[in-house]
Amino acid sequence: MKRAVVCVATTERYQRGMDRLFHSEFIRNTAINLYNEVPIGCPPHDLKPYAFKAYAMKYAADAGADLVLWADACILPIRSMEPLWEKIERDGYWICRNGFTNYQWTADSAYPDLFDWPVGGEPNPSLDDMRHINKTIPHVVATSFGLNLRSDIGRKFIDEYYRLASETRAFCGPWANSARKDWNLGQPDDRSLVDACGPPDVLGHRHDQSAASVIAWRLGMQLTDPPEIFAYPPGDERTILLADGSYQ
């Protein structure tokens, strides 16, 4: 199967990380789709945060890639990636859980697009109904994840991911919720990234991750606990680590 690693980095700092990824010995013989600016047709990052992920992955799929692995610019493979590619091909995807519920990272404004289907048998669910469902949905990690586009589940995921990014405002919302009294603790320094987006127990919006979480849940995807793919039985040297490394 044709493999592709996809990354978008639009600033010098992130481009240094992307260059490091490009030179990793563990992605040799793999197509690498790197973007120094948002892909053609993609809305600017400040208007639709992280929509570029869906666009870049969709373009890789349309170019003929079978297995697509998204990698943020911070990602650095430090051991063979074969076990990961094998998992993506076998299961149809590789997506990790983040430890939060999706409710904690979903702005009220995104609900109509994320839940534009009957909830609890109701064709037009109330915001409370949608919040209730969202509290049961695990939040995913989108720093790195993979799809087998030859599989039904992988193709359904990328098609819906791209639809939400290109046709709706599901990716839109503030990074941090100003309704929280501690909104400035560990939150963006730029106040323009902070706004009221839900009840005080909502932390903010996570754009592509908030959308990906709903898609994964609807498709019945089994999320990986982060250490699972990295830890094999003693003596098995296939272990892969994806490290958040320094830009120094």
Residue 109 maps to which CATH number?
3.90.550
Rg for the chain (alpha carbons), in Å?
18
**Residue 50 pLDDT class (50, 70, 90 cuts):** very high
pLDDT at residue 236, rounded to an integer: 55
- pLDDT for 4 beyond 60: yes
pLDDT at residue 162, rounded to an integer: 98
Quick: pLDDT tens for 69-98.
999 998 988 888 999 999 999 999 999 999
pLDDT at residue 190, rounded to an integer: 63
- Whether 186 maps to a domain, the answer reads no
- Whether 141 maps to a domain, the answer reads yes
pLDDT at residue 179, rounded to an integer: 82
Report the pLDDT averaged over residues 164-171: 97
**Residue 245 pLDDT class (50, 70, 90 cuts):** very low
- Whether 8 maps to a domain, the answer reads yes
- Range among 35-39, 112-116, 160-164 rated most confident: 160-164
- Whether 75 maps to a domain, the answer reads yes
- Helices 152-167 + 51-62 axis angle, to 10: 130
- Range among 123-127, 184-188, 232-236, 242-246 rated most confident: 123-127
- Whether 181 maps to a domain, the answer reads no
Parent domain of 211:
3-173+204-244
Higher pLDDT, 99 or 154: 154
Give the whole-angstrom CA distance, residue 242 versus residue 47: 29
Give the whole-angstrom CA distance, residue 133 versus residue 214: 10
**Residue 247 pLDDT class (50, 70, 90 cuts):** very low
pLDDT at residue 184, rounded to an integer: 58
Higher pLDDT, 61 or 191: 61
Task: Give the count of domains, the chain.
Answer: 1
- On average, the pLDDT of the chain sits at 87
> Where is 80: in which H helix or E strand?
none
Higher pLDDT, 118 or 232: 118
- pLDDT for 17 beyond 80: yes
**Encoded tokens for 42:** 């993609």
- Whether 236 maps to a domain, the answer reads yes
- Whether 223 maps to a domain, the answer reads yes
Higher pLDDT, 221 or 76: 221
pLDDT at residue 244, rounded to an integer: 44
Give the whole-angstrom CA distance, residue 81 versus residue 176: 34
**Residue 220 pLDDT class (50, 70, 90 cuts):** very high
Give the whole-angstrom CA distance, residue 181 versus residue 41: 38
- Whether 194 maps to a domain, the answer reads no
